[in-house]
Amino acid sequence: MKRVIQTENAPAALGPYSQAIEANGTIYVSGQVPFIPATMTLVSEEIQAQTKQSLENVKAILESAGYSLNDVVKATVFIKNMDDFAKVNEVYNEYLGNVKPARACVEVARLPKDVKVEIEVVAVK
């Protein structure tokens, strides 16, 4: 059985997908871009601010379904420029440093709305 997760505390989906899907005690959070949920606008051009907002959006979705960042077992970070890797890691470590889930970080040619970072996670209760 699966359950669609939807919260106003994270940006609305930019396409035909759900913010997250929960199935059998696992939640799959779609990639979150650094938009402020209330205005659907980019938080900043600065990579650290974008990383923080993306993680805040992930956190809001997790919490709306009864999960937390401590439940994250896998994260995928998509960044526009691998030169930003260390800056992204600084912020990422603040949110997930104690959890240390499995992770991939990849440089991509382009992200939705030309943001610099997008983050998706999988969490298990």
The tens digit of pLDDT for each residue in 42-73 reads: 999 999 999 999 999 999 999 999 999 999 99
| 95, two tokens | 């949110």
Supply the range of the domain harboring residue 33.
2-124
pTM, to two decimals: 0.97
Does residue 105 carry a catalytic annotation?
yes
Catalytic one of 36, 42, 49, 105: 105
- pLDDT tens string 83-120: 999 999 999 999 999 999 999 999 999 999 999 999 99
DSSP string covering 57-113, please?
A: HHHHHHHHTT--GGGEEEEEEEES-GGGHHHHHHHHHHHHTTT--EEEEEE-S--GG
Distance in angstroms (rounded) separating the CA atoms of residues 90 and 54: 14
The total domain count for the chain is: 1
Name residue, tokens 């997008």: 118
Question: pLDDT for 13-48, tens place per residue?
Answer: 989 999 999 999 999 999 999 999 999 999 999 999
- CATH code of residue 15: 3.30.1330.40
